[in-house]
Amino acid sequence: MELGIDSFASTNKEFEEHASKSNSQIMAELIERVVAAEKAGLDRFGIGEHHREEFLDSSPALILSAAASKTKKIKLSSAVTVLSTADPVRVYQNYATLDLISNGRAEIIVGRGSFSEAFPLFGYNLNEYDAIFKEKLELLLEINQNKTITWTGKYRPALTNQNIYPKPVQKQLPIWLGVGGTPESFIRAGTLGIPLMIAIIGGHTHRFRPYIDLYKEAGQKAGHSIEKLKVGIHALGYVGEDSEQTKDEFFPGYQKIFTKIGKERGWSETTRDHFNSQVTEKGALLVGSPEEVAQKIHIHSKALGGISCLNFQMNVAGLPHEKLVESIKLIGKKVKPILNLN
C-alpha cells in the first residue's frame, strides 16, 4: 500500500500561529513538507485546487512543479483538479509538463472538489455539473490515450485532427477519479476503468464498501481487469507519538475549521463527542499514535476489500508547520513499516 500526503495549501490565518505569516512563507513551508515526505519514504504528495481567500492552491500544477525541482522520487498529484471548470486540453498540457519536469512522476485526480466557487468564477452553471464533468472527463481520457484528437462536445469548442503537446515521460498520465458518496460516480469510474480516490472525511469508513463493489462490478462488466481497478482513500489524519496528546493537539483546530465550514453548509457544530466517535476503530479520522493509526488503516483496507493507497490530509487543524513535518516523519518511520508487515 502506498502512503502519501494531501494538502490544500491553507493559509490558516484565523489561527494565531499563522496570522503573521506571508503567503510566500506559507507556500515555502508547503514545499518543505513535500521534501519531508520524500525523505520520510512516502510515496505521493497531492495538492488540491480552490479559488477562495483561505487557500493558495488555485494552480496546483505550478506548486507541484516547484516541488518537483526539489525532489526525485515522490509521485506528484492534483487532489483534486476541478475538471468541470477547466479545459481538458490545458489540464493535460499542464500535467504533461509537470511529468517532464519531474521525470515521470505526475498524476491527476479529477473531481468536483470540496467547494463550488469555481463554477461562477469561470462562468459555468453548477446545475449542469454532471453533464459538464462527464463530457470533459471523456475528452481528457481521449487526449491521454491518443496522439491525434477529433472531438465534438457541448461545453468546449470542437477539435479536428489536433495533436496535443507536450507529451509526458510516461506513456499515459495516471488519471484517477476523485469521488465522495454518489453511487453513479463509482459506476462511472468502473465503466471507464480508471482508479478511484475516495474522500472519506467523516462517518464510518466501511459504509463505502457497497459503492466500491459497484465500482468493481461495473469495471469488470466493461471488460477491465480487477488489477486495473485500484482504490485509494483521502482521509483526515495526524500522527504523534502519544495517542491522547495527538488527539488533544488536533481537535481544537479541527473543531474551529469544521464548525466554520458547517455554518456554510448547514451542519451542526463539531463537538468533542463527535470527534471522539470519529477516532474510534470504525471512524474516518486517522488521528493517534503510529501503531493505532496503522492498525486502523489495516482494518479499513480489509473492510473495503483492499486499498492501494492512502493519503493523509493533516493541514485541516491549524497546526504549526513543524508539527506537520514531525507527523510526516512518523508516518514514514513507523506507520509505513507496520503496514508493510501486514
pLDDT at 17: 80
Inform me whether the pLDDT recorded for 261 exceeds 90.
no
Reply yes or no on whether the pLDDT at 159 is more than 80. Answer: yes
pLDDT grade for 204, boundaries at 50, 70 and 90: very high
Task: Give the β-pairing of 159-163 and 148-151.
Answer: antiparallel
Q: What is the mean pLDDT of residues 46-75?
A: 97
Q: Which residues contact 146 (CB under 8 A, 6 or more apart)?
A: none
pLDDT(83) > 80: yes
- Number of domains composing the chain: 1
Residue 161: beta bridge partners? none
Q: pLDDT (tens digit, 9 = 90+) per residue, 171-195?
A: 999 999 999 889 999 999 999 999 9
pLDDT at 113: 72
Q: Please report which confidence band the pLDDT of residue 269 belongs to, taking 50, 70 and 90 as the band edges.
A: confident
3-state secondary structure (DSSP) of residue 15: coil
Instruction: Return the CATH number at 173.
Output: 3.20.20.30
Q: Give the pLDDT score at 172.
A: 98
Phi, psi torsion values for 31, nearest 5 degrees: -60, -40
The range of the structural domain enclosing residue 29 comes to 2-341
Q: Span 77-102, mean pLDDT?
A: 98
Report yes or no: 88 and 132 within 8 Å, Cβ to Cβ: no
> Whole-number mean pLDDT of the chain?
95
